[in-house]
Amino acid sequence: MLDFRIHTFLCVCRHMNYTRAAAELHITQPAVSQHIRYLEREYGTKLFSYKGKHLQLTQAGHILWNAVTAISHDDAILKEHLRDLQHNRSLSFGATPTAGVGILDKLADLLKHNDDMNLRMEIADAEKLLQSLDDGAIDFAIVESSFDQGRYESLLFSNEPIVAVCGTGYEAP
């Protein structure tokens, strides 16, 4: 279970605005400031700075954000797995449209051999899926586009050729 101040930190990171974070969390803006000050004292470093009027994460803030998003995701998965012990098995993932179509036969086979499994599949662009992954809404994502590999663990699922098609009479530049 994550400390409520960590949830405040993540909310401020999402909005990059103390007032909007306070509104989402249904607390006062001074309470948000106190939560962030507590974390800064706890970790001994500044987590946010202002560039002009724009709030931004410091290097230490980025490190904390990376760590707590991973912990938050792990916490969500743990809770889901504990619930699944009482009911059945479930898996939540996302895929970009092209990748999603490419794995439908594998999903059908998985479900055929695991009739007690629940699958939830989110189809969206890679940016939305990575946000869902950060938020802990999905367990993993299958994408065919590039992403910051320093932020996510990844493995190659499939290597497919790309075929370019054009109309007759098209002359390449």
| Residues in CB range of 111: below 8 A, 6 or more apart | 117, 119
pLDDT digits (tens, 9 = 90+) for 116-163: 777 788 889 989 999 998 888 888 888 887 788 788 888 877 777 777
Mean predicted confidence (pLDDT) in 102-127: 79
- The set of residues, in sequence order, having a beta carbon less than 8 Å from that of 6 and lying 6+ positions away, is 39, 68, 71, 72
Q: Is residue 151 part of a domain?
A: no
Q: Is residue 48 part of a domain?
A: yes
- 29 contact partners, CB below 8 Å, separation of at least 6: 18, 19, 22
8 Å CB contact between 68 and 102? no
Q: Give the pLDDT confidence score for residue 143 in this predicted structure.
A: 87
Per-residue pLDDT averaged across 25-38, rounded? Answer: 96
- 8-25 pLDDT, tens digit each: 999 999 999 999 999 999
Structure-model confidence comparison of residues 149 and 39, the more confident one: 39
User: Within a domain: residue 159?
Assistant: no
Residue 64 has a pLDDT of 95
> Any idea which of 51-60, 82-91, 140-149, 161-170 has the lowest mean pLDDT?
82-91
Q: How many domains does the chain have?
A: 2
pTM (2 d.p.) = 0.51
63 and 95 part of one domain: no
CATH code of residue 24: 1.10.10.10
In which domain, by residue range, is 10 found?
Answer: 4-67
pLDDT of residue 88: 57
pLDDT at 85: 58
